Amino acid sequence: MLKNSDPVDAPSGLLERTLGVLELLATNARGMQLFEVADSLHIPRSATHRVLTSLIEHGYVKQEREQGAYQLTAKVASLAFTFLAGSGITDFAQPLLDRLARESGELVRLAMIDGRELVWVAKAQGSPSGLRYDPDMGQVGRLSCSASGHAWLSCLSDEDARTLVDKQGYGLRKDYGPRAPESWPALLKYLRQTRKRGVSICLQTYTPWMSATAAPIRHPKTREVTGAVVIAGPHIRLTEERMLALVPALLQTAQELSMATLASPGLHGAGQHGSFFNTNAS
């Protein structure tokens, strides 16, 4: 949490505030007023104005009109897409995601470990019509209630998994799904089931009407977890029985994505930031 007592002009404080503003605006695509940004980040409005002015000058933020809301520009997304293209992630992963989407008839997503977070970086839609689940890319997944989060946490020791979740916080049912675990004992039950199956099965934990199953992606040599591949869709269609039937195809895709880490620098290095944790736990 940012504090008002942080030195306004100290490089570390300025960087923290700038990143805080970017991350906040990324989750509020329609824009935010200056006072909303300041109040959300608990920093003075004068300091908030300086940060926003600097970001506007560098092309990362725009203001629709005088005293209007502040929004991110496409420059931020451009940086992300440039990185993904250069890393080779989309080149190697997309055909595999497309195939699994066709086989499952649902949305398939690729989540990569970035530090101590899971970020969705690629997707393929297998449902051409009807009910579709299609969230925005670039979001950070809530570990406690997302299928990709459960897939990763299940590969850690209980202690390390709890450390990650405690740092990020639990997904409350009012904000996520009616079955979202809100405590460590409740989450641990999910993780033990995931370890037994080899994949996570989440029914209405992330949203009230969505189900998902995910498999961890491991580096073929180090066995370090670098991400997860997810199948997600409406719970009335993607039932537990249906998800269990898709497990072989899901595991095959995870294995093929694992082999792709040898060729893609982005996939190869994605999990290294998280190597503080023992990802070889049973």
The CATH H-level (homologous superfamily) assignment of domain 78-274 is GAF domain (3.30.450.40)
Q: What is the pLDDT of residues 141-198, one digit of tens each?
A: 889 999 999 999 999 999 999 999 999 999 778 889 999 999 999 999 999 999 999 9
Buried b (16+ CB within 10 A) or exposed e, 197-232: bebbbbbbbbbeebbbbbbbbbbeeeebbbbbbbbb
- How many Cα atoms within 13 Å fall on the side-chain side of residue 181? 21
CA distance 212 to 146: 8
**pLDDT tens readout for residues 60-111:** 899 877 778 998 887 776 566 566 555 555 667 888 999 999 999 999 999 8
Binning pLDDT at 50, 70 and 90, where does residue 216 land?
very high
Please report, for residues 40, 117, 225, 258, the alpha-carbon distance to residue 92 in angstroms, rounded to integers and kept in the order given: 39, 22, 17, 11
d(CA 110, CA 121): 6
Name the pairing type of β-strands 70-72 and 61-63.
Answer: antiparallel
Contacts of 85 (CB under 8 A, 6+ apart): 91
Per domain, the residue ranges of the chain are: 11-72, 78-274
Cα radius of gyration (the chain):
20
Are 146 and 125 a contacting pair, CB within 8 Å? no
Fold agreement (11-72, 78-274): no
Instruction: Please state the rounded mean pLDDT for residues 253-257.
Output: 92
Cβ distance 145 to 127 under 8 Å? no
The Cβ of residue 70 has, within 10 Å, a number of other Cβ atoms equal to 23
**CATH number, span 11-72:** 1.10.10.10
Distance CA 75, CA 61 (A): 9
pLDDT higher than threshold 80 for residue 254:
yes
- How far, CA to CA in Å, does 197 sit from each of 129, 130, 217, 220? 31, 30, 15, 20
Burial (CB count <10 Å: 0-12, 13-18, 19+), residue 267 = buried
With CA atoms as reference, report the closest residue to 231 among 243, 217, 248, 245: 243
> What mean pLDDT comes out for the span 213-237?
91
